[in-house]
Amino acid sequence: MSEHSKFLLADSQIPTAWVNVLPSLPEPLAPPLHPQTQAPLGPEDLLPLFPMEVIEQEFSPKPYIDIPGEVLDIYRLWRATPLYRARRLEKALDTPAHIYYKYEGTSPAGSHKPNTAVPQAFYNKRAGIRRLATETGAGQWGSALSFAGRLFGLECTVYMVRVSYDQKPYRRMMMHAWGGEVFASPSDKTNAGRAILAATPDSQGSLGIAISEAVEDAATHTDTNYALGSVLNHVLLHQTVIGQEAKLQMEQAGEEPEVIIGCFGGGSNFGGLALPYVLDRLAGKGPRIVAVEPTACPSLTKGRFEYDYGDTAKLTPLVKMYTLGHDFVPAGIHAGGLRYHGASPLISHLVHLGHIEARAYSQLPVFEAALQFARTEGILPAPESSHAIRAAVDEALAAREEGRPRNILFCLSGHGHFDLAAYDNYLSGKLVDFQYAAV
């Protein structure tokens, strides 16, 4: 076991391939279905939205997929990200557990999202696309895509969920600084948005609605493609750089993690850390893996595992996933990035097969853990990431209860620099909890 608290990698140790778990699954994923015909989808059905290289990755049978040099060039701006042992937090908790965290907040956009924004922008540029359309919740994904698009010379249009657009103006300004175009969603720019506004003029929006708008924008403009920041296989694939680096860094630390934790919205930072460890589990020797979601939007713990649309207007393919229903609009919690009605089909499948546990927390205990983390470890975490902190703290407290050590590894997916109004609300006692109520 290392005496150090930080574990770094040289540029030469940044992964040069993404890890694909699809060929290792004990049962294959259920195929996506066409939104109108409900027949299994062929790759060509996705061409109005994605470049062919991305579509191939979505269904690829290869265990590894090489990362293009142009993508690695940009990755090196912030990768490899550091892995820390949270010794000051351990001390504050008086726990025999060892808590490690992989910190993805050092990217220019402040989260793990650029790990997939950069390759998606690259493949779209190579396919001759001029503009990308996308949705964003808290703004992490929209800023990541504005950043990545700009570096490859692509325009970027972002439909930002209304509640976050109002709560987090700095995220919008950040997208503008990188040249992105931002509309509050539901907007009057699309049929999908106008239909929602007609029915609910004061709609707070949701990721499901914003996805409808971005997909419609891309499908109706030939020079424009759609880019998704979570949920799909290729997105999780790109994020596996996180888990691959973490494995090397845990080797440096000289310890094996016994429980892996990530916050869960669509599944991208969670999958990024977990999937390389899922391969170990599928080979019979992996750690426990825990996905942590908000009680206000508990797709994995309260949803049904069934075919559903990825968006509200039913423009996307149907995928088999844990879902609260494509028309579910979650309460306006501060962890805007976790307000999605569905879940990655790949992670849903692994939950269904029993390889991944799921757990839900409401936002008050999450902010309590966030503040304890900020005041011991020094890094101010995003509300989304703080769901993982809450679970890690509870695992460490359970270890104390049992009087036995436990090696915990979680993903700190981003910083909270644009979430300080939420901290302010929490500190002044204005933050309230939301529970899920089935419609």
Within residues 320-339, the interface with its own copies by CB under 8 A covers: none
Q: How far apart are CA 304 and CA 292, in angstroms?
A: 17
Residue 297 dihedral angles phi and psi, to the nearest 5°: -150, 65
Residue 174 vs 392, nearer CB to its own copies: 174
200: left (phi over 0), alpha (psi -120 to 50) or beta: beta
Q: Least distance to its own copies from the beta carbon of 275, Å?
A: 26
Q: Determine the size of the site formed for its own copies (CB under 8 A).
A: 42
Least distance from C-beta 401 to its own copies, angstroms? 27
Tokens read off for 269: 């930072």
Part of the chain binding its own copies (CB under 8 A), chosen from 6-14, 121-129, 404-412, 430-438 = 6-14
Look up residue 312 and give its two tokens.
Answer: 């509200």
* Residue among 29, 27, 24, 20 at smallest CA distance from 346: 29
Kindly tell me which residue out of 8, 47, 353, 432 binds its own copies, with binding defined by CB under 8 A. Answer: 8
> Alpha-carbon distance 288 to 425, whole Å?
34
Binding its own copies (rule: CB under 8 A), the pick from 77, 353, 364, 432 is 77
Stretch that binds its own copies, among 307-315, 322-330, 349-357, 415-423 (CB under 8 A): 415-423
Q: Are 117 and 93 in contact, with CB atoms under 8 Å apart?
A: no
Interface characters, 132-151, with its own copies (x: CB under 8 A): ---------------x--xx
From 383, 367, 376, select the one nearest 415 (Cα to Cα). 383
- Is 425 buried (19+), middle (13-18) or exposed (0-12) by CB count in 10 A? middle
365, 388 Cβ separation under 8 angstroms: no
From the list 88, 194, 288, 400, which residue makes contact with its own copies (rule: CB under 8 A)?
A: 88
Name which of residues 347 to 406 contact its own copies (CB under 8 A): 371, 374-380
152 lies in the site for its own copies, by CB under 8 A: no
Minimum distance, C-beta of residue 335 to its own copies, in the bound complex (Å): 16
Question: Nearer Cβ to its own copies, position 6 or 34?
Answer: 6
Closest CB 52 distance from its own copies, rounded Å: 27
Q: Does 110 bind its own copies (CB under 8 A)?
A: yes
CA atoms of 402 and 400, how far apart (whole Å): 5
Question: Is residue 2 part of the contact set for its own copies (CB under 8 A)?
Answer: no
421 binds its own copies (CB under 8 A): yes
Question: Which tokens go with 76?
Answer: 């090196």
| Position among 50, 100, 141, 178 found at the interface with its own copies (CB under 8 A) | 178
Give the interface with its own copies as residue ranges (CB under 8 A): 4-6, 8, 10-11, 73-74, 76-77, 84, 88, 106, 108, 110, 147, 150-151, 169-170, 173-174, 176-179, 371, 374-380, 416-418, 420-421, 423-424, 427
